[in-house]
């Protein structure tokens, strides 16, 4: 989390030093319709975004990505949120206090106690009131986007089928093999491990069931079903040459030695539409939503008066 804090500090510092030559918090950085946006507004927006992400338990890498984006495009993002909130006010949208409290309670449950939750807020320079305001705005923005954009996006079954037919190579499944395996770890004595592996292989060749030998010799569970590309190249070069029922020679790796038995082989094939239609529909929905949202946001901007101070 320290690295993330450094990013937000760097972001706020950059805003202070580059947005206005006077570096004053009340310096005007943009005008949206009849609303003035100051440097302090931008700083508060960046900070409240960070606090909200931390409170929600978002992962460090995702927070880092979002904060870097705000460092580059914070003014535009703040303007977009202002426009969407203005749209919410235009249509008379109100968020019930109970809904805000319910959301905050869900966030609280991610912490071991209420004190831990409060401490996390204080540590990041925020209060419950700050978080509630951020949650309220987020809920307003989400509702407006759902109402104005998401509710108008549809993907019909024919679109799913057409996309599948035109892009079926995307749905190619690699060849697979179901394996039984024996693994003998080198640990601190490679010679001893190799001797044990040879004993296991001899037992199999002499007619002892593979599973029985595995129970006696193996240091790890059987690998099971694998797809080409999942294992080391050295291993795959051996196993994908096996016939069903065939036993491999010893396959040495850095950590130990394997013996494999091929139980079944499944050749490469294109996934059936029935198996992947939900994922295709989700993909198409997201693409359509992205296109409609971009167009809708562009329309909001076109209809508004926006001036960004240089």
Kindly report the CATH class assigned to 2-148: mainly alpha
Q: 207: Cβ–Cβ under 8 A, 6 or more apart, which residues?
A: none
CA distance 235 to 242: 11
- CATH node for 176-266: 3.10.50.40
Q: Which of 236, 239, 232, 272 is nearest to 255 (CA)?
A: 232
Do 176-266 and 2-148 fall under one CATH topology? no
pTM equals 0.68
Tens-digit pLDDT string for the chain (310 aa): 444 444 444 444 444 444 434 446 778 889 999 889 999 999 999 998 998 898 888 889 999 999 999 888 999 999 999 999 999 988 888 899 999 999 999 999 999 998 999 998 898 888 999 999 999 999 999 999 999 999 999 999 999 999 999 998 889 888 999 999 999 999 888 999 999 999 999 999 999 999 999 999 999 999 999 999 899 999 999 999 999 999 999 999 999 999 999 999 999 989 999 999 999 999 999 999 999 999 999 999 999 999 998 7
The SS3 assignment for 243 reads coil
Torsion-angle region of 208 (φ positive above 0: left; ψ -120 to 50: alpha; else: beta): beta
Q: Which residue has the tokens 């901007």?
A: 301
Written as six digits, the tokens of 130 are 């700050």
How many helices and strands (H and E) does the chain possess? Answer: 11, 9
Return the half-sphere exposure (C-beta side, CA atoms, 13 A cut-off) of residue 19.
28
Domain boundaries, the chain: 2-148, 154-169+277-302, 176-266
């Amino acid at each position: 989390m320290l690295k993330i804090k450094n990013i937000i500090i760097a972001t706020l510092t950059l805003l202070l030093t580059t947005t206005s030559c006077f570096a004053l918090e009340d310096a005007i950085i943009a005008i949206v319709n009849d609303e003035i946006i100051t440097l302090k507004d931008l700083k508060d927006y960046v900070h409240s975004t960070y606090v909200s992400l931390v409170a929600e338990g978002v992962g460090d890498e995702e927070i880092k990505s979002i904060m870097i984006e705000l460092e580059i495009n914070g003014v535009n993002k703040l303007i977009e949120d202002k426009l969407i909130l203005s749209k919410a006010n235009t249509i008379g949208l109100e968020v019930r206090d109970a809904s805000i409290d319910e959301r905050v309670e869900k966030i609280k449950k991610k912490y071991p106690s209420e004190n831990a939750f409060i401490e996390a807020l204080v540590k990041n320079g925020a209060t419950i009131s700050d978080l509630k305001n951020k949650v309220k705005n987020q809920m307003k923005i989400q509702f407006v986007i759902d109402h104005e954009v998401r509710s108008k996006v549809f993907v019909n079954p024919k679109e799913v089928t057409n996309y599948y037919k035109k892009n079926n190579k995307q749905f190619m499944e690699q060849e697979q093999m179901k394996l039984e395996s024996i693994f003998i770890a080198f640990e601190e004595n490679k010679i001893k491990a190799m001797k044990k592996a040879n004993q296991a292989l001899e037992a199999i060749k002499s007619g002892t069931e593979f599973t029985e030998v595995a129970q006696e010799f193996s240091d790890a569970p059987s690998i099971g079903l694998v797809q080409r590309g999942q294992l080391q190249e050295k291993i795959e070069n051996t196993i994908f040459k096996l016939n069903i029922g065939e036993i491999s020679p010893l396959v040495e790796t850095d950590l130990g030695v394997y013996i494999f038995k091929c139980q079944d082989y499944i050749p490469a094939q294109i996934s059936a539409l029935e198996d992947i239609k939900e994922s295709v529909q989700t993909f198409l929905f997201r693409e359509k939503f992205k296109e409609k949202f971009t167009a809708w946001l562009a329309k909001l901007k076109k209809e508004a008066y926006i001036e960004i101070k240089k």
